[in-house]
Amino acid sequence: MTTAIRIDGISKMFRLYRERPTSLKQRLLVSRSRSEEFWALRDVSFDIADGSSLGLIGHNGSGKTTLLKCVAGILRPTAGTIRYRGRLAALLELGAGFHPDLTGRENVYLNASFLGLSRRETDRIYDDVVAFAELEAFMDNQVKFYSSGMLVRLGFAVAVHVDPEVLLIDEVLAVGDESFQRRCLDRVRRFQSEGRTIVLVTHALDIVREVCDEAVMLDHGKVYAVGSPDDVVRTLRHRFLSDDPLFVPEEGSREVEISGVAIESDAGVRDSVRPGEGLTITVDLRADVAVADAAVSFAVVSASSNHPVIEGKTSLLGVSLGPVDRKKRVRFRIPPAPWASGTYFVSVGLDSPDGRLFHVQTQHYPLTVPEMDHIAMKLPVRPTVEVEDL
């Protein structure tokens, strides 16, 4: 597979001034030593394959937006090179590059020229842009009279219609109403199917897992993890939880090990469950040393609140595993439940009746509950009826 973007040894240093000298007088009076170096990125290297969709995640201040700005050519890296092929469109902030005093039409032409389109090329896409943004009636109004939603729509419409080979998106899909967000995501999927390359910076881990086929996690300006979105999202979660001294990702004596965990909805979809659906969590065990008894437990933890939404343990559920000497399989079945959409993590544990930990994997397995159309969702309750004679 060919490389669409090659990021090679990128470092970016910012100078932080305690009090920035913005005038000559201050500059002469204040010595140079009052500025501090801050490395937003340090020797970041990775390749993005042609036609892949990469999610760039990390905590606030991890350098992901700085990296995206370097790729977009807005910031010049202190060291390193970035190479890419074809036209690159960046959506860093919706409405960026719009001038409030110009009309919608003029702004489309201005914005498209930033993305490298000539006037004639813009003429060709103009009608599609307007139709996508659904702003036919407002194109001759000055943009300063637009609502933020209208700006969002126009900005996204221009960016996706300039026919870029590489699309960079920073947190912009979070704006706009629900139907527009869905259309943006549809458009992003169409981009993927056309074999274009997408780099997405977001805090919405669900979107990364839903849309991207690769993810990179940055931490304090360095690449912390690269891999499949599930793995990287989990790493991010662990990194986040590791600030908690009680958090240990994996521990135990390993006399009996968890050899595999599968999460499957009743509809047969892995690692995902829809509201109103049931779920099966299958835990495979393997004994290295034969033990007289063991208990398997699980907990499903909401990623946003860090709160367990459902827990279970074999012993508490009245099931005894008996002696474990080779392999065993345990299935937890969760009946249909009104899952709230979002990301969850599943912890699995294995311990002895006297409380010795054999093996614990804390929040190791991601589970997604997709956003559902309200029409498709049924309330999982039965109405009752009363008849009264009056």
Partner 1 sequence: MGPRLRELIAHREVLVNLVRKELKVKYTASVLGAVWSLLNPVMFLAVFSLVVFVLDNNVPDFPVFLLSGLLAWNFLANSLQAGARSVIDNANLVKKMAFPREILPLAAVGVALFDFALQSVVLLLYIAVYFVGFSGPGFHLPELWLYPVVIAVLLVFTTALTFWVAALNVRYRDVGHLLNLALLVWFWATPIVYQGWLVQRKLETIHILGLDAWALYLLNPVAVIVLGFQRALYSIVRPVGGGDPILPPMDLPMLAGILLLVLAASVVLLFLSWRSFFNRSGDFAEEL
Output the CA–CA distances (angstroms, integers) from residue 71 to 67, 74, 88, 172, 219, in the order listed: 6, 8, 9, 17, 18
Residue 8's SS3 state is strand
Nearest approach, Cβ of residue 38 and partner 1 (Å): 10
Which of 45, 74, 149, 311 lies at the binding interface for partner 1 (CB under 8 A)?
74
The β-bridge partners of 301 are 308, 345
Closest CA to 42 of 18, 5, 14, 72: 14
For partner 1, the closer of residues 12 and 359 by Cβ is: 12
Which of 34, 83, 99, 327 lies at the binding interface for partner 1 (CB under 8 A)?
99
Contact flag: residue 75 with partner 1 (CB under 8 A): yes
Contact flag: residue 37 with partner 1 (CB under 8 A): no
Contact flag: residue 31 with partner 1 (CB under 8 A): no
Q: What are phi and psi of 57, to 5 degrees?
A: -125, 170
Output the CA–CA distances (angstroms, integers) from residue 114 to 89, 111, 122, 159, 311, in the order listed: 9, 5, 11, 10, 53
For partner 1, the closer of residues 101 and 243 by Cβ is: 101
Distance CA 367, CA 344 (A): 5
Contact flag: residue 14 with partner 1 (CB under 8 A): yes
HSE-up of 141 (CA within 13 Å, CB side)?
Answer: 12
Q: Which stretch binds partner 1 (CB under 8 A): 94-102, 281-289, 292-300, 343-351?
A: 94-102
Report the 10 Å Cβ neighbour count for 24.
8
Distance CA 245, CA 319 (A): 33
The β-bridge partners of 139 are none
Contact flag: residue 18 with partner 1 (CB under 8 A): no
Contact flag: residue 96 with partner 1 (CB under 8 A): yes
Contacts with partner 1 in 117-176 (CB under 8 A)?
117-119
Contact flag: residue 307 with partner 1 (CB under 8 A): no
Nearest approach, Cβ of residue 128 and partner 1 (Å): 19
Closest CA to 67 of 206, 224, 201, 229: 201
Nearest approach, Cβ of residue 80 and partner 1 (Å): 13
Which of 2, 32, 33, 76 lies at the binding interface for partner 1 (CB under 8 A)?
76
Contact flag: residue 102 with partner 1 (CB under 8 A): yes
Contact flag: residue 23 with partner 1 (CB under 8 A): yes
Which of 30, 49, 110, 337 lies at the binding interface for partner 1 (CB under 8 A)?
110
DSSP letter for 324, please: B
Which of 24, 137, 246, 387 lies at the binding interface for partner 1 (CB under 8 A)?
24
Question: What residues line the site for partner 1 (CB under 8 A)?
Answer: 14, 22-25, 27, 69, 72-76, 88, 90, 92-93, 96-97, 99, 101-102, 106, 109-110, 113-114, 116-119
